Amino acid sequence: HAAEAQRTDLMTITRHVLNEQGRHPESRGDFTILLSHIVLGCKFVASAVNKAGLAKLIGLAGDTNVQASNPISPRLPALLYSTGEEQKKLDVLSNEVFVKALVSSGRTCVLVSEENEEAIFVDAPLRGKYCVCFDPLDGSSNIDCGVSIGTIFGIYMIKDKDNVTLDDVLQPGTDMLAAGYCMYGSSCTLVLSTGNGVNGFTLDPSLGEFILTHPNIKIPNRGKIYSVNEGNAKNWDAPTAKFVEKCKFPQDGSPSKSLRYIGSMVADVHRTLLYGGIFLYPADQKSPNGKLRYADANSELQSVLYEVFPMSFLMEQAGGQAFTGKQRALELVPRKIHDRSPIFLGSYDDVEDIKALYASES
């Protein structure tokens, strides 16, 4: 069987991006170089999550400092990673690896990380034309129990080479050049869009290479799954409450939807992309009736720059939609780098339903 024969023509992520760039004769390979540095960060996290260097893992036993840092239960220890003289939590260590990889690529000028309060401006000798917004390790509540977590990133181009400012990242999501995520799950999968569809690559650990396994991903127009933290239901607004009620008790004869919620945006969005359905992180009535365009930084909502925009970009590129409850998510214009927003994203028709509920309310 031809299908069973060992594949010998491997489409690595680098080869794929170089092929795509071949369509732009003016390109000089800068994006390929930038991406290879992002891929390095992803491989580092993949290896750490798999506990490949188990001897460098410490903090499994009952040190009191360690116990205090567990996000869910103070009685449980958090995993710490030894970097020689220091001990660090995996999200902090991952952030350092990504920042250093991005700076040393020589292709970035501004970095926004969920782990850094301020944006990082790259010094002149290493400065390049790309701005990267990222969450190095999202889903922190899932790290210590071995549930899927991920890295999310969005890439912009600098506006004016000689004058780099925060405005280079405070752009609407429609200006994004590329976006992606890497999921550290039962396999390690990197999903990428450079604005020409969505492709998924799986890390072959024996080769250390991401191989194209999910070419041209398209999300089904409608799905059978909804994904939301229902524990927050008491704070939902009326359209969200009505939508979830209809998922459970459909009035039109359609079957009820299944609920799946991991609590790692990357894993929940990845499943939504492949199987269809909708992921919701809805508005919260604690932020005055959802009238405020942006919730304050302490809110639980998803971050615009490194969660909402990259995931919305991928959804649209795969034929789905992303909506904030008020507008197309990619048309938001962030005012601050850590701004947050509600988000509804997934299958085209499922997002149409929530849009209709918001429209009928106003």
The residues binding Mg ion (CB under 5 A) are: 114, 135, 138
Any contact of residue 265 with ligand AHM (CB under 6 A)?
A: yes
Non-local CB neighbours of 294 within 8 Å, separated by 6+ positions: 304, 334, 335, 336, 339, 340, 341
**How many CA atoms, within 13 angstroms, populate the side-chain half-sphere of residue 222?**
9
- Closest to Mg ion by CB, 46 vs 164, is 46
Q: Which stretch binds ligand AHM (CB under 6 A): 51-59, 174-182, 263-271, 336-344?
A: 263-271
Q: Is 184:46 a contact under the CB 8 Å cutoff? A: yes
Pairing outcome for strands 120-121 and 108-113: antiparallel
Residue 327's closest CA among 313, 346, 340, 343? Answer: 343
Phi, psi torsion values for 107, nearest 5 degrees: -120, 5
Angle between helices 348-361 and 238-248 (to 10 degrees): 140
Distance CA 258, CA 276 (A): 12
Any contact of residue 138 with ligand AHM (CB under 6 A)?
A: yes
- Closest to ligand AHM by CB, 114 vs 237, is 114
- Closest to ligand AHM by CB, 37 vs 338, is 338
Any contact of residue 263 with ligand AHM (CB under 6 A)?
A: yes
Any contact of residue 140 with ligand AHM (CB under 6 A)?
A: yes
Q: Which stretch binds ligand AHM (CB under 6 A): 26-34, 43-51, 261-269, 328-336?
A: 261-269
Give the shortest CB-356-to-ligand AHM separation in angstroms: 24
Total residue length of the chain: 362
Q: Which stretch binds ligand AHM (CB under 6 A): 134-142, 153-161, 169-177, 250-258?
A: 134-142
Helix (H) or strand (E) holding 88: strand 87-89
List binders of ligand AHM among 47-66 (CB under 6 A).
none
Any contact of residue 167 with ligand AHM (CB under 6 A)?
A: no
Q: Which stretch binds ligand AHM (CB under 6 A): 60-68, 160-168, 257-265, 312-320?
A: 257-265
Work out what residue 229 binds among Mg ion, ligand AHM, none; the CB cut-off runs from 5 to 8 Å by kind: ligand AHM
The residue with its CB nearest to Mg ion is: 138
Task: Determine whether 164 is exposed, middle or buried from the number of CB atoms within 10 Å of its CB (0-12, 13-18, 19+).
Answer: buried
For the chain, the C-alpha Rg in angstroms (whole number) is 21
Give the shortest CB-138-to-Mg ion separation in angstroms: 4
List binders of ligand AHM among 276-315 (CB under 6 A).
300
Classify residue 22 by its DSSP letter.
T
Per the listing, tokens 């449980």 go with 76
List binders of ligand AHM among 219-248 (CB under 6 A).
229
Binding site for ligand AHM (CB under 6 A): 114, 138-141, 229, 263-265, 300
